[in-house]
Each structure stands twice: as C-alpha cells, then as structure tokens.
C-alpha cells in the first residue's frame, strides 16, 4: 500500500480523516477540495493538494470521493468537465458519499463506457472513526473489484460488508439512516416525557440504555444530551438532507412512507430554529421547549 497513490476528492470532516489515516499508513494522497481551508489543512497533513480535478485524475488510478450531496457528486463526475472525462482508463472510483442509489448507478454507467470501474461505498462513523480507520463500509460492486482494492478498504474501515450490485450500498445507507434518525426522534420524545414526569435525567438514561427500547445512537449520544452538549458529530442539517433523500427514494419507488415525513418535519423544524450546525440529537430541544423543561442540569 505504501507505493500506491490515492486520489481523494473532498477533504472535509470524513474526507480529512481518511486523508490523515492513509498518510499515516504511508499512502501518498493527491487531494482536491473547493474549500481553501480544507485544502490547506490536508496539505498540512502531507497530502499533495491539486488546484483542479484534472490534477487528481492525472496522478491517481484509484480515486476516493467523499462529497456532500448528489448534485455535487454529479458535478464532480459527470459531463465534459467531470472527473470521468479526465480520468485514465483503468481508474477505479471508490465513491463514499451519502447519495441516492440512482446517482451512483448513473456514475457507474458513464464510467464503464470510459473504461473506468466504480465501487459503491456507504460508510458509517464520524470523523474520529475516519481518523482511526474504524469506519464501517458497505460496499457494492463486483467481488473481484472489491478484492482488488481490499487492502485500501481495510486501511479505512474496521469492517467491510459486501452488499451486492451498484446502488445496494447507498440503499442500505439510506434505510439505515431512516432507522437511526427515527430512533433518536422517538428517544427524544420519550426521554423528555420521562423527565417531565419527574425522572432524574441521568437515572433515566442509565436505565433506558440497558432496556429494550435502546438503540446504538441512543446509548452513544444521549449522555451528551444529559450534559447539554450538542457538539456536532453528525449535524442536524445533514440528518435533514438524508431524510429528504429518503423521501425522494420512496417517491421514486412509489412506496408510501408514513413515519418518514413526520420525522423529516421534526428535523426541518429543528433546522429552521437555528439548530442545523448542532448534533442531530438537537431535535430534543423542540420537545424541551414544548414541555417547558430542560434535560441538562445547569
């Protein structure tokens, strides 16, 4: 792996963590980001930062992308000025953004016509896990292509699940996020009710965290809620972005969701009240306001 040069498009929170991780493992990283701050930070780690996508395409046959939304993924990869048009035949794109399955399928189709292969990757984890190589990867694509790049995937992730065809990893990511975000929304409603009824927040958490209604995100995130800490790992604005992707996916599939629109409305309200940059557990603040209480002790 130390002899490999990896292109990295997107040097923000997750991309920046992956950048550091690869550099620490002796992998040369050639990166690009439209944010001067992110580009400067990555250069400080030791990455070679190119001013254009063309520079990455020229210098790397393996390109990892970590981008904010489907529109940016399309801008980066498709069209006459996109990365696929500039990349060399034989290049592999490892696309890790949280986007809809139709977008990654379109990227893979255009790439295949240009002699470029694509792995559909959905990741679970936050910047600290990216930095430590402790992400979880869902990977869609041919087994032979996954095997070809398994060493790199194992540098970045502690667990790799093979999901099937292109689009399957993005589908799993969105379905999982509906469950995860929904779990936090329900936990927020229930937790505030418990406190409203007179329960001590810490005692309530200690009991619920080992009870049947718990979820992984509740167990890991609600200790901070009890302390009034909403420092972002996964931002409320990103939760809303993912929920909108879920609603779009359901619409495309002509599947009538019933809970997803309610959860989306809660997160839209949280964003509109100025909580977009807080952790996605900030949805609890709407319940606190309605109940006239605060969970965190002053």
How far out from the chain centre does Cα 288 lie?
Answer: 28
Contact 124, 135 (CB under 8 A): yes
The rounded distance, in Å, linking the Cα atoms of 85 and 1 is 27
The share of the chain scoring above pLDDT 90, in percent, equals 95
Write out the chain in H/E/C secondary structure: CCCCEEEEECCCHHHHHHHHHHHHCCCEEEEECCCHHHHHHHHHHCCEECCCHHHHHHHCCEEEECCCCHHHHHHHHCCCCCHHHHCCCCCEEEECCCCCHHHHHHHHHHHHHCCCEEEEEEEECCHHHHHHCCEEEEEECCHHHHHHCHHHHHHHEEEEEEEECCCHHHHHHHHHHHHHHHHHHHHHHHHHHHHHCCCCHHHHHHHHCCCCCCCHHHHHHHHHHHHCCCCCCCEHHHHHHHHHHHHHHHHHCCCCCCCHHHHHHHHHHHHHHHHCCCEHHHHHHHHHHHHCCCCCCC
pLDDT of residue 113: 97
CB 160 within 8 A of CB 50: no
Token pair of 16 as six digits: 């920046």
31 band by pLDDT with thresholds 50, 70 and 90: very high
Beta bridge partner(s), residue 62: 6, 92
- Report whether CATH 3.40.50.720 matches the domain 5-164: yes
Is residue 285 pLDDT above 80, yes or no? yes
Residue owning tokens 């005692």: 203
CA 125 centroid distance within chain: 7
What's the rounded Cα separation, in Å, for the pair 126 and 212? Answer: 25
- 285 is a catalytic site residue: no
Do 9 and 66 contact (CB within 8 A), yes or no? yes
pLDDT (mean) for 206-229: 97
pLDDT, one tens digit per residue, over 267-276 is: 999 999 999 9
Average pLDDT value for the chain: 96
- Contact present, 218 and 208 (Cβ < 8 Å): yes
Which residue in this structure is represented by tokens 């002790």? 297
Which CATH class, in words, describes the domain spanning 171-291? mainly alpha
Confidence class of residue 2 from pLDDT cuts 50, 70 and 90? low
Of the listed 170, 173, 235, 285, which one is catalytic?
173
* Domains of the chain by residue range: 5-164, 171-291
Per-residue pLDDT at 298 exceeds 70? no
18-30 tens-digit pLDDT: 999 999 999 999 9
């Amino acid at each position: 792996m130390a002899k490999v040069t990896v292109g990295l498009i997107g040097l923000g929170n997750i991309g920046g963590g992956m950048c550091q991780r690869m550099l620490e493992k002796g992998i040369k990283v050639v990166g690009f980001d439209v944010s001067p701050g992110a580009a400067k930070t990555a250069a400080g780690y030791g990455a070679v930062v190119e001013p254009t996508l063309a520079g990455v395409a020229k210098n790397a046959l393996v390109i990892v992308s970590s981008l904010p939304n489907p529109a940016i993924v399309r801008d980066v990869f498709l069209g006459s000025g996109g990365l696929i048009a500039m990349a060399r035949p034989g290049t592999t794109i490892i696309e890790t953004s949280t986007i809809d399955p139709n977008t990654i399928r379109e990227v893979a189709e255009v790439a295949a016509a240009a002699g470029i292969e694509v792995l559909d990757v959905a990741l679970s984890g936050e910047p600290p896990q990216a930095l430590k190589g402790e992400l979880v990867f869902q990977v869609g694509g041919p087994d032979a292509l996954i095997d070809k790049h398994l060493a790199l995937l194992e540098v970045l992730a502690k667990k790799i699940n093979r999901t099937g065809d292109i689009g399957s990893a993005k589908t799993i990511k969105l379905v999982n996020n509906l469950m995860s975000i929904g779990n936090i929304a329900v936990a927020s409603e229930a937790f505030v009710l418990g406190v409203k009824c007179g329960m001590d927040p810490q005692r309530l958490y200690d009991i619920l965290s080992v009870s049947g209604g718990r979820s992984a995100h509740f167990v890991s995130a609600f200790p901070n809620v009890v302390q009034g800490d909403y420092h972002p790992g996964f931002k409320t604005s990103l939760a809303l972005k993912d929920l909108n992707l879920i609603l779009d996916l359901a619409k495309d599939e002509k599947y009538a969701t019933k809970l997803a629109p309610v959860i989306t409305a809660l997160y839209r309200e949280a964003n509109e009240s100025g909580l977009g940059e807080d952790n996605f557990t900030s949805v609890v603040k709407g319940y606190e306001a309605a109940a006239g209480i605060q969970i965190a002790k002053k």
